[in-house]
Amino acid sequence: MTNPTDKNSPVPTSTKVEELFELIHDIDLCMMTTRGDDGALVSRPMSTQHHKNLDESKDLWFMTRTDTHKVDEIERNPDLNLGYSKDGEWVSVTGTARIVTDRQTIRDLYDPSWKAWLEDNGGDENGGPDDPRIALIVVRVDRAMYFKRTTPKPIMYFELAKAMITGTPPKLGEERLVDAAAIKAQRPGPSVPSSTTRH
């Protein structure tokens, strides 16, 4: 469903970065892939958390419990992949993750829906913003590939059906690369002080 990447694309770098994060913002769930303790790849669905100040940093944020395997996996090997897909568009992010336990950062990003993943044990373990079981995963985007659809969905389905009959691949959009230099150029500065992270 995709077309080869145009490495000489006339699309400005700033536009590609903007398109990349717009796609991510519009797709709630992604598949986060880490390496298990035996080196095998492990994927699980995760919901990207959005906040104006955090979005400007060009980092991606996720809520997690501190007692999950993915926390151990990230602390052992911070390299990971995030895969987003919706309505014929997709994003593949290569990034480096950190575990953030700073309480103020957690309070700033906290969403009441997180309680669904935290049973109420009384006291601070009540699923609230000060629950010590809550941590954040922050992913610094190193590079990304994305496919942006340039045809409306009804036409996309028509073009796919036509391609099955004619044998000619459809032109549904463009696949683009956003490299580390492009993302770095759009960052305002460090997103999280080192004192707020676990290594």
User: Residue 123's pLDDT band (boundaries 50, 70, 90)?
Assistant: very high
What's residue 56's pLDDT? 72
Instruction: Work out the pLDDT band at 194, boundaries 50, 70, 90.
Output: very low
**Is 50 exceeded by the pLDDT of residue 121?**
yes
What pTM value is reported for the model?
0.82
**68-72, 96-100, 194-198 — which is least confidently predicted?**
194-198
pLDDT higher for 52 or 115? 115
**Range of weakest confidence among 17-21, 46-50, 193-197:** 193-197
Q: Whose CA is closest to 123, among 110, 138, 109, 133?
A: 133
Mean pLDDT computed over every residue of the chain: 85
DSSP notation for 141-199: EEEEEEEEE-S-HHHHHHHHHHHHHH-PPP--EEEEEE-HHHHHHT--S-SS-GGGEE-
- Domain annotation for the chain: domains and CATH numbers: 13-187 (2.30.110.10)
- Distance separating alpha carbons of residues 68 and 10, to the nearest angstrom: 44
In the predicted model, what is the mean pLDDT of residues 54-61?
Answer: 80
- The average pLDDT across 40-59 equals 84
Residue 199's pLDDT band (cuts 50, 70, 90): very low
